[in-house]
Amino acid sequence: MVIHRDQRRADVREALNEFEKWLLRERSAQERTAAAYTARVAAFVEWLPAPVDQSLATLTAAKVTEWVNLEAARGLKASTLGKQLVMLRSFLQYAHRSGRTGQDLSGVVPHAAAWRLSSIPDPVPAGTIEALFATLDLHSAKGLRDRAILLLLTGLGLRACEIAGLRLDDIGWRTGTLRVRGKGDRVDELPLPDEIGQALEDYVLHGRGGRIVGEEVFFTVIDPVQPLTANGVCGTVRQICIKAGVEKFGPHRLRHTFATGMLASGATLQEIQRLLRHAHLRTTAIYTKVDTNRLAALAPEWPAAASSRRTR
């Protein structure tokens, strides 16, 4: 269960607020990024005995190691644990530079062992996507909105933040293209399949209607109506899962399903890389591990193989 910062102890809130301000000021982090980073260290700060200031003043390497061991024992994915530890190091650097701790304990925090290609993408089971679409009421604004969102996830592999960031002028109704703003201010233009274009048109004309004013494509359906956030997209997918009676998962798993489906249908790594907008082919290569038959066929495209050829 996610605990909102306002529900935490007053001393914890103060420490987290100061850390977030430090990230914005000293690390030039974006507001959304700073908030996400702060959320990752909230459990550590609350774990410290009250008051937090006194606990930080007497913090030891042994205490930090104790927390790390507790986190590692939770069985988190290596990538998730790695992010937790990165933020813990950042928080400990902040604590030292702000005078909250007498020494910089960030060096005590180990690096999580995480081979980038070690985790295997987990596509949803067969029939799950059909079950999700079957729950939608296409006579309602919510049903039209959720259908468009699901199609963007399953038909183009968009990220939740990319869906939340869509603007009306990003949709090329006449050209059959969709402009997507991705990570690192990257902007790409993707082909817009007819089914997805029609779903977007249905939602914009009949789901949003004339009651919504704003350049964002997707909005909440409960008052006060406001632009849908990335978290809102995640919540929407999970709500549909509950209604469909399937195991809950988030939008990114549908992105994995899109990529593995493309691979199974014969797409090359380079084609998948372009559609997923990965900066490096090595990132795309993880999808070959879910299909050993395609792996053999794609061996010449594997980034490591390409590197070895260049060195021969």
Contact 275, 157 (CB under 8 A): yes
Residue 158 or 270, more confident: 158
pLDDT at 294 over 50: no
pLDDT at 184 over 50: yes
Most confident of 53-67, 133-147, 208-222: 133-147
pLDDT at 61 over 50: yes
pLDDT band, very low/low/confident/very high, at 154 (cuts 50, 70, 90): very high
Two tokens, residue 86: 């990165």
CA atoms of 85 and 72, how far apart (whole Å): 10
Q: What is the pLDDT of residue 293?
A: 47
Task: Report the 10 Å Cβ neighbour count for 68.
Answer: 18
At 75-112, the pLDDT tens digits run: 777 778 888 888 899 999 999 999 999 899 988 888 76
Q: Where are the alpha helices (DSSP H) in 135-250?
A: 141-156, 160-164, 194-202, 230-244
Q: What is the set of active-site residues?
A: 159, 183, 252, 255, 278, 287
pLDDT band, very low/low/confident/very high, at 256 (cuts 50, 70, 90): confident
CA atoms of 72 and 69, how far apart (whole Å): 5
pLDDT at 221 over 80: yes
pLDDT exceeding 70 applies to what percent of the chain?
A: 81
pLDDT at 152 over 70: yes
What is the spatial order of strands in the sheet that 171-172 belongs to?
A: 171-172, 177-181, 187-191
Rounded to 5°, the CA angle 170-230-40 comes to: 140
CA atoms of 14 and 23, how far apart (whole Å): 14
Q: What is the pLDDT of residue 84?
A: 86
Domains and CATH numbers, the chain: 5-108 (1.10.150), 128-296 (1.10.443.10)
Residue 254: which H helix or E strand, with range?
helix 251-264
